[in-house]
A and B are shown apart, each in its own frame.
Chain A
Amino acid sequence: MKDSISKIVKKYGNDKSQLVSILQDIQTEYNYLPRSALDKLSKKMDIPQSHIYSMATFFRAFSLKERGKHIVNVCLGTACHVRGGELILDSLERQLDIKRGNTTKDRNFTLETVNCMGCCATGPVVKIDEEYFGHMTNDKVEPMIKKYSE
C-alpha cells in the first residue's frame, strides 16, 4: 500500500492543492478511502488527518466505507426525476435489499446516487461501473442487476 500511495503523491508532485485529485486516485485504486491509506497520506504529505477527513467527508464523491464489486449509480438529476428516477431507485433498493449508500451483504453491489451524469436525454439513467442504462423502467431493473450478479 505504501508504494501505491507514494506513487500517487509523486504523480501530483507532492502538491497539497491537488488533494482532491489525490484522493480520487486513491479511491480508484482501492474502491474507497481506506483509513490506513489516509494515515499514510497524512504522514507523506504532512497534512493533518483532520483536514484530509474534512475533505473526504465534504465531497460527495468519496466513500470512507468499503464498497462492493460493482457500483450501481442511479441518476437523480432533474431530467431523470421528472421521468421517474426515484421510482427506479426505490425498485433497486427493494431488489438489492439495501438503502442508498450501502453495500449488499455479498459485497457485490454498492447502491449510490448521483445528481446528473450528463446524458439527461436518455433519462432515467442508471450506471453500473462503466455501463450506462438509459430509459429505465421498473421492469428493466431485474435483468440489469442479473447481468452483474455472479
Chain B
Amino acid sequence: MPSKLKSPQDLEKLQQMLSKNLDAGKSRISVCNGTACRPYGSNPVAEAFKAELEKRGVGNQLELKVTGCHGFCERGPVAIVEPGNLFYQKIKVEDVPEIVEKTLKGETVGRLLFKAAETGKEVAGQNEVPFYRNQTRIVLGNNVRIDPTSIEDYIAIGGYSALSKALHTMQPDQIIDVIKQSGLRGRGGGGFPTGLKWETCRKAHGDIKYVIVNADEGDPGAYANEGLLSGNPHSVLEGLIIGAFAIGAHQGYVYVRNEYPLALKNINIAMQQAEKLGLLGKDILGSGFDFSVRINRGGGAFVCGESTALMASLEGKTGEPRAKYIHTVEKGLWDRPSDLNNVETWANIPLIISKGPEWFNSIGSKGNTGTKIFSLTGKVNNTGLVEVPMGIKLRDIIFDIGGGIRGNKKFKAVQTGGPSGGCLPEKLLDLAVDFDELTKAGSMMGSGGMIVMDEDNCMVDVARYFLTFLEEESCGKCVPCREGVKRMKQILTDITEGKGRESDLDLLKELSAHLKDSALCALGSSAPNPVLTTIKYFLDEYEAHIKQKKCPAGVCKSLIKFSIIKEKCPGCGMCVKVCPAHAITDMGKKKPVILDQSKCIKCRTCYDVCRMGAVKIE
C-alpha cells in the first residue's frame, strides 16, 4: 500500500508510477467475477487462472485481473484478453490452461469466441460483439480494467484525479455550475436535475449537511447499481467526496441493500483504502477539506429506496416515509439539509468533472444528457447490463443489443421502471428511452430495470405480480396505499382466477386515480402504473380473462388445462418420470402417454421437458 497522499502532486506521482506498470507490455486476462457470473461458476474459473499462472511462473508476462461485472451476463463466465481485446465466453475450468497457453503464444482460442447469429462466424474483439458494439460504456466501461478491491488499479487509470481537480482548482459553486451545465439528471428514477439539487442543498440553512448514496436498489429485476458498486466502488466514492465538497458536507452515508453481499464487501474495502491513502478523512489531499463516510446496510424493505424512508432508516427507525412539504435538501437526515443521489448519479460526477460538461452534453439527447445503465433481462437472447446514450430507441436496446427474443418467440411487452413503471407494447418500440418519453407513455425510467416479455407471458398476471409485491412492501403508514393496493391486488387475483367481473376494470381505474392523488410517497402513487399500462395497451387480455375466462398466454393456473397431443407424443416417458403428481401414465413404447386431468397440478414440468412439443396448454 502506498503512503498517505498529502497533495495533488503526490497523487499525480503515484498515478504515473502505477500507469507505467499498466503499460509495461504485459498480456492481461480480465476475468469477470461479478454477482451474475457466479451462478455460472466464475469463482472456480478465476481460481483456476490464478493457479495456472502460478504453476507456470509467468506472472511477469501475463497479468490476471479478477474484475467486477463485464455486463454480458448471458454468456458468463466471460473474460477479456489483451492484447487483441479478445472476448471469451462461457469459460469452464477445463478451458483455463489452454487460454493461458495460447495467450502466451499470442494465439486465440477460437471455440470460446462469440459467434455472430447471422453469419455463424467467430467475432474476436469485444468491441465487435453486437452486444457491446452498440453501447456507450462511459460509466461501466472501467469495470473490465480494474480489480474492484484495488485502489491502485483505480488510480492507475486516472481515478481520483477529478477529486484532486475539484478540491484544488475549483470553488464549490463552480463545481455545481459544471454539474448544472452538464444537464445530469438523477439516475434513481425521478430524473431531477442533480446540479439544482446540490445548489438547493448548499444554500439551505444549517452548518451540518449530509450527502448520501442510495444503493438500496430494490426494484426487482434491476441490478445496475449492484454491478457498478461492486465493480467500480471507487468511482462512486470519488463522486460522493466531490459532491460533499460542493455542498459543504463533512459526513456521508452509503446505504446498501443487504441482498448485495459483494457490493457491500467491495465498498467497505474501497472506503478503508481511501482512508489509508488520505482520500477520505481529515485534510483530503492537503486541501483542508474533511469528509468521512459510513456504510449502512438495508434490511430488505423496498420502501427504503424512497429518500425520506431511507433517511428514517439511517436514523435507526423503521423505514417509513414522510410527506415532503419540506424537501430533504432543506430538512432531511436528523432534520438537516441532506443530498441523496443514486449510485449511478454519483459515478457520473468524476467523469463530468474530468472531461467537462460539453463532453457530457455531446452524449444523449437534449434535456436527457449522458448515458443510462439498464438491466436487460427476461426473454431476450442477450441478457446483461447495458449502457446506452439516452434517447436511444427501445427497439435498438432489445433487438440490436439484446439480440431479440429467445427461442424465436414473439415480443409482447417490455417493462421498465420496476413496480412503479409500466409495460409497453410492440407499437411503442420506437419510443425514445429517456425520462420524459417513458413518463409520457405511462411508465418511467426507474432505476433501469428493463424486463422483456414474450407471447408466453400473461399481462394480467404481470400486473397481479407487481401488486402482490407492492402489497407486501407497502409500509402501511398511509391508508390509500395500505388498503388501495390490497384491494387492487384482490381484484386482479380474482380476474386471474376466472372470477373477474366486467365492472372490475372501471373499479381498478377508479382506485388507481385515488391512489395517485392521495398516497404519501411514490411507492403508493406510482403503484397503479403497472395496472393502468396493461389495461391501456393489453385490454384484449383482460377481456379474455373476464369474458371468456381464458388466459391466452397459458399462465394463469385456474384458467388453463394441460393435455397431450397424441399425434406428437412418441411415448418416450420423459414426462412420466418428472411429473411430481404422478398424473401421467406410460402406455408403453410408441404409444402416447395419458394425462389424468384430475391429478394434474399444472406445474408445467412436463411442458418444459417434452422435446416433441406434445404437451399442450389451453
What is A's interface to B at a CB cutoff of 8 Å?
15-21, 23-24, 54-55, 58-62, 76-84, 87, 90-91, 94-95, 114-123, 125, 132-135, 137-139
Nearest-neighbour CB distance to chain A for B592, whole angstroms, equals 21
Q: Which residue of B lies closest to A56 (CB)?
A: B299
Residues in A neighbouring B453, C-beta threshold 8 A: 82
- Determine whether B222 belongs to the interface, using a CB cutoff of 8 Å to chain A: yes
How far does the alpha carbon of A135 sit from the alpha carbon of B415 in the complex, in Å? 21
In the assembled complex, which residues on chain B have CB atoms less than 8 Å from the CB atom of A83?
378-379
CB-CB under 8 A for A20 and B296, given A82-B378, A87-B604: yes
A117 to B35, CA, bound (A): 9
Identify the stretch in B36-44, B235-243, B350-358 within 8 Å (CB) of chain A at 4 or more residues: B36-44
**Distance (Å) between the CB of B336 and the closest chain A CB?**
13
Q: 28 A–B contact pairs at CB < 8 A?
A: A17-B314, A23-B299, A59-B301, A60-B472, A77-B221, A78-B418, A78-B451, A79-B221, A79-B375, A79-B377, A81-B462, A81-B465, A87-B603, A87-B604, A114-B300, A115-B300, A116-B222, A119-B38, A119-B39, A120-B377, A121-B73, A122-B73, A122-B76, A125-B39, A132-B38, A134-B39, A135-B39, A139-B609
Residue of A nearest to B36 (CB): A119
CB-nearest residue of chain B relative to A57? B318
Q: CB within 8 Å of A: which of B239-295?
A: 258-260, 263
Are the C-beta atoms of A139 and B605 separated by less than 8 Å? yes
Say whether B539 faces chain A, with CB atoms less than 8 Å apart.
no
A59 touches B300 (CB 8 A): yes
Q: Is the CB of A133 within 8 A of B379?
A: no
Q: Are A118 and B260 in contact (CB under 8 A)?
A: yes
Say whether B605 contacts A116, CB under 8 Å. Answer: no
**Cβ contact within 8 Å between B302 and A115:** yes
Q: How far is the CB of B155 from chain A (nearest CB, A)?
A: 27
Name A's interface SS: helix
B383, B466, B473: the one contacting A120 at CB < 8 Å is B383
Instruction: Kindly provide the distance from the CB of A51 to the nearest chain B CB, expressed in whole angstroms.
Output: 8
Contacts of A81 in B (CB 8 A): 220, 462, 465
Residues of A contacting B384 with CB < 8 Å? 121
Any chain A CB within 8 A of the CB of B524?
A: no
| Contact present for A119 and B73 (CB under 8 Å) | yes
Residues in B with CB closer than 8 Å to A21 are 296-297
Instruction: Say whether B259 contacts A78, CB under 8 Å.
Output: no
Tell whether, in the assembled complex, residue B301 and residue A60 are in contact, meaning their CB atoms are under 8 Å apart: yes
Which residues of B are found within 8 Å of A60, using beta-carbon distances?
Answer: 299-301, 472
* A138 with B219: CB separation less than 8 A: no
Residue from the list B38, B259, B383, B578 in contact with A139, Cβ < 8 A: B578
Shortest A101–chain B CB gap in Å is 12
Question: Is B182 positioned at the interface, with any CB of A under 8 Å from its CB?
Answer: no
Contacting residues, chain B, for A24 (C-beta < 8 A) = 258, 297, 299
Report the Cα distance A15→B263, complex, angstroms. 24
B605 near A138 (CB under 8 angstroms)? yes
Q: Shortest CB–CB separation between residue B609 and chain A, in angstroms?
A: 6
A60 to B465, CA, bound (A): 18
B226 at the interface (CB under 8 A from A): yes
Q: Tell me the complex Cα distance, A116–B221, Å.
A: 6
A91 & B259 in contact (Cβ 8 Å cutoff): no
Name A87's closest neighbour in chain B (CB-CB): B604
B39 close to A120 (CB less than 8 A):
no
Please pick, from B39, B220, B297, B375, the residue contacting A122 in the complex, using a CB distance under 8 A.
B39
**Residues of chain B lying within 8 A (CB to CB) of residue A15:** 316
Contacts of B220 on A, CB cut-off 8 Å? Answer: 76-81, 115-116
A82 touching B38, Cβ below 8 Å: no
Contact assessment for A116 and B219 in the assembled complex, using a CB-CB cutoff below 8 Å: yes
| Contact A90/B39 with A20-B313, A78-B221 known, Cβ cut-off 8 Å | no
Interface residue B580 (Cβ < 8 Å from any Cβ of A): yes
Q: Contact at A133–B223, with CB atoms within 8 Å?
A: no
B440-467 CB contacts (< 8 Å) to partner A: 449, 451, 453, 457, 462, 465-466
Chain B nearest CB from A122 CB (Å) reads: 5
Name the interface residues of B366-401: CB closer than 8 Å to any CB of A: 375, 377-379, 383-384
Q: Which of B63-100 contact A (CB under 8 A)?
A: 73-74, 76
